[in-house]
């Protein structure tokens, strides 16, 4: 049972550890990035022995300090300084201490290999803390956090102020939408979907002739259309361009959302299971 669990953990979380290591060249690190296998072997030991006071992610609790911010961990090139503390514990600075043995931090006797795995996990946690991207939340972001709105109010917005029902239907294109996407993804994409159709444009040439097609380039200087299988480019200053953006209604709606509308709309769409 124990072994099976360890294997499952390994498979389940290796994917998390690997990308951090792969980014190594952009970042400061110890002489070597922690080995993902060692990280997963060290994780349960840390959670069991250290997490209660230092938090499983090393950011500290009322009982024990934040280890992410300690020089001892970050500057310990070969792991010996951290191992020494784990094995010796830390004597209580004040009478009584906090641990059963009277120490401020109890000592833990680990074999060399287990110690090296424990340190690999701690290093991985530091890297995870430092290197996190500020982008979208992960797909497993809990739906409970997003469900602060009122589904009935969301439905009213959908059919009323939002005007969503002009293009969408809960029994048509949106049927079962809540099952199709992770909740945090659904919330971002109902506000601004990823385009499924390209932008098109009507280009009016100096002669008055009109050409329509898929818009490939539009900037200060160039307009490029694909029309009838041909790629056509004009200087932007010589033509008139009418762009048809399939997402235009979504763009126009963004400034109109009131605070609650977003959460009400999400609550409503989440009912479309």
Partner 1 sequence: MKNTYVLALNFFVLATNVPAQTQWPSLNGDESGRRYSTLKQINVQNAAKLAPAWKFKPATGATVVKGTPIVVDGVLYFTVPDHVWAVNAATGKEIWHFNRPSRGDRIANRGVAYYKGKLYFGTPDAHLVCLRADNGRKLWETPMADVHFGYYMSNPPMVVKDKLIVGISGDAGDVTGFLKAVDPESGKVLWTWTSVPKWGEPGSETWPSQEALLHGGGTTWVQGSYDPELNLIYWGTGNPHPVLNGRDRAGSNLYTCSIVALNADTGKLVWYFQPSPHDTTDRDATESVVLIDGVFRGQPRKMLAQASRNGYFFLLDRKTGDHLLTTSFGPQNWSLGLNKRGEPIPDPKRDPSPAGTLLQGSGTNWWVPSFSPATGMFYVNANIGVWSLTYLTNGAVQGGLDDHQGGRESALSPGDPALLALDYQTGEVRWRVGYGNPAGILTTAGGLLFTSNSNYLVAMDQTNGKTVWKTNVGGPASNAPITYEVGGKQYVVMSVRDTLYSFVLPE
In the complex, least distance from residue 228 CB atom to partner 1, rounded to whole angstroms: 26
Q: Which three-class secondary structure state does DSSP give residue 208?
A: coil
In the complex, least distance from residue 72 CB atom to partner 1, rounded to whole angstroms: 10
* Cβ closest to partner 1, residue 218 vs residue 226: 218
In the complex, least distance from residue 135 CB atom to partner 1, rounded to whole angstroms: 7
* Cβ closest to partner 1, residue 96 vs residue 235: 235
In the complex, least distance from residue 217 CB atom to partner 1, rounded to whole angstroms: 9
Give the list of residues 6+ apart from residue 218 with CB closer than 8 angstroms, or none.
201, 224, 236, 241, 243
Other C-beta atoms lying within 10 Å of the C-beta of residue 52: 12
Cβ atoms 236, 218 nearer than 8 A: yes
d(CA 269, CA 273): 8
* Cβ closest to partner 1, residue 218 vs residue 232: 218
* Cβ closest to partner 1, residue 110 vs residue 191: 191
Cβ atoms 266, 190 nearer than 8 A: yes
Where do runs of H (alpha helix) occur along the chain? Answer: 2-22, 36-49, 51-54, 71-74, 80-88, 112-131, 143-146, 151-159, 177-180, 183-191, 248-253, 259-270
d(CA 163, CA 253): 9
In the complex, least distance from residue 263 CB atom to partner 1, rounded to whole angstroms: 6
Helix/strand number for the chain, H first, E second? 12, 7
Beta bridge partners of 213: 201
* Cβ closest to partner 1, residue 211 vs residue 218: 218
DSSP 8-class letter at 191 = H
* Cβ closest to partner 1, residue 57 vs residue 116: 57
Identify the burial level of 108 via C-beta atoms within 10 angstroms of its C-beta, where 0-12 means exposed, 13-18 middle and 19 or more buried: middle
d(CA 83, CA 241): 68
Instruction: Report the interface residues with partner 1, using CB under 8 A.
Output: 25-29, 51, 54-61, 66, 68-69, 71, 74-75, 128-137, 141-142, 145-149, 184, 187-188, 191-192, 219-222, 251, 254-255, 257, 259, 262-263
In the complex, least distance from residue 202 CB atom to partner 1, rounded to whole angstroms: 19
In the complex, least distance from residue 212 CB atom to partner 1, rounded to whole angstroms: 22
In the complex, least distance from residue 148 CB atom to partner 1, rounded to whole angstroms: 4
* Cβ closest to partner 1, residue 41 vs residue 123: 123
Choose among 90, 116, 89: nearest CA to 30: 116
* Cβ closest to partner 1, residue 114 vs residue 249: 249
């Amino acid at each position: 049972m124990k072994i099976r669990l360890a294997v499952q953990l390994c498979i389940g979380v290796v994917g998390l550890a690997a990308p951090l290591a792969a980014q190594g060249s952009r970042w400061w690190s110890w002489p070597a990035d922690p080995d993902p296998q060692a990280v997963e072997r060290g994780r349960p030991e840390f959670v069991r022995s250290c997490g209660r006071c230092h938090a499983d992610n090393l950011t500290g609790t009322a009982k024990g300090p934040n280890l992410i911010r300690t020089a001892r961990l970050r500057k310990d090139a070969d792991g010996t300084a951290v191992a020494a503390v784990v094995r010796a514990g830390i004597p209580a600075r004040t009478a009584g201490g906090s641990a059963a043995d009277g120490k401020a931090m109890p000592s833990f006797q680990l074999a060399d290999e287990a110690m090296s795995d424990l340190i690999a996990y701690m290093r991985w946690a530091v890297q995870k803390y430092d290197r996190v991207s500020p982008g979208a939340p992960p797909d497993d972001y809990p739906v409970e956090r997003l469900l602060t709105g009122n589904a009935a109010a969301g439905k009213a917005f959908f059919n009323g102020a939002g005007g969503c029902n002009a293009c969408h239907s809960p029994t048509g294109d949106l049927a079962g939408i809540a099952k199709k996407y992770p909740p945090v993804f659904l919330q971002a994409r109902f506000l601004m979907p990823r385009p499924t159709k390209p932008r098109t444009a009507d280009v009016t040439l100096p002669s008055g002739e009109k050409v329509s097609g898929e818009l490939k380039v539009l900037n200060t200087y160039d307009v490029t259309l694909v029309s009838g299988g041909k790629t056509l480019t004009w200087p932007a200053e010589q033509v008139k361009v009418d762009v048809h953006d399939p997402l235009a209604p979504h763009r126009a709606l963004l400034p109109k959302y009131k605070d609650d509308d977003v959460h009400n709309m999400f609550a409503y769409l989440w009912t479309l299971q």
